[in-house]
Amino acid sequence: MRRHPMSDLSSFPRRRERVAVEIDGRSTHDTPAAFQHDRTRQNALVLAGWLILRFTWQDIIERPDEVIAQVRAALAQRRTGQQPPKPGRR
């Protein structure tokens, strides 16, 4: 599999929509250095206009339909330019 240019910044980047999906597993994210690296990487993406969705390995295994629905919703919002509803507002 060829590495995407954004691979160093995201697990699964979608360049056109600027949506990045991060899968966080304890085995690779439990050291202070890994935690710091992830925060630095996330901030770089956000400042570049990316939306980041973070999921745990447990999410992927136990709730794949929810994960897929959230990713699809984020991609659709980005494609149409819609903003998500603000919390607490209808």
pTM: 0.72
Q: What angle do CA 87, 21, 78 make, to 5 degrees?
A: 55
In angstroms, the CA 48 to CA 72 distance is 21
In angstroms, the CA 24 to CA 56 distance is 5
For residue 90, pLDDT beyond 80? no
How large a percentage of the chain has pLDDT more than 70? 76
Q: For residue 77, what are the CA distances in angstroms to 3, 53, 62, 67, 89?
A: 26, 13, 25, 15, 18
The answer to whether the CB of 77 falls within 8 A of the CB of 59 is no
For residue 43, pLDDT beyond 50? yes
Is residue 4 in a domain? no
Is residue 1 in a domain? no
Domain count, the chain: 1
Is residue 89 in a domain? no
For residue 13, pLDDT beyond 60? yes
Is residue 90 in a domain? no
Average pLDDT over residues 41-55: 93
pLDDT band of residue 11 (cuts 50, 70, 90) is low
40: DSSP letter = H
Is residue 65 in a domain? yes
pLDDT band of residue 89 (cuts 50, 70, 90) is low
Is residue 2 in a domain? no
Domain that residue 50 falls in: 12-80
More confident residue, 77 or 3: 77
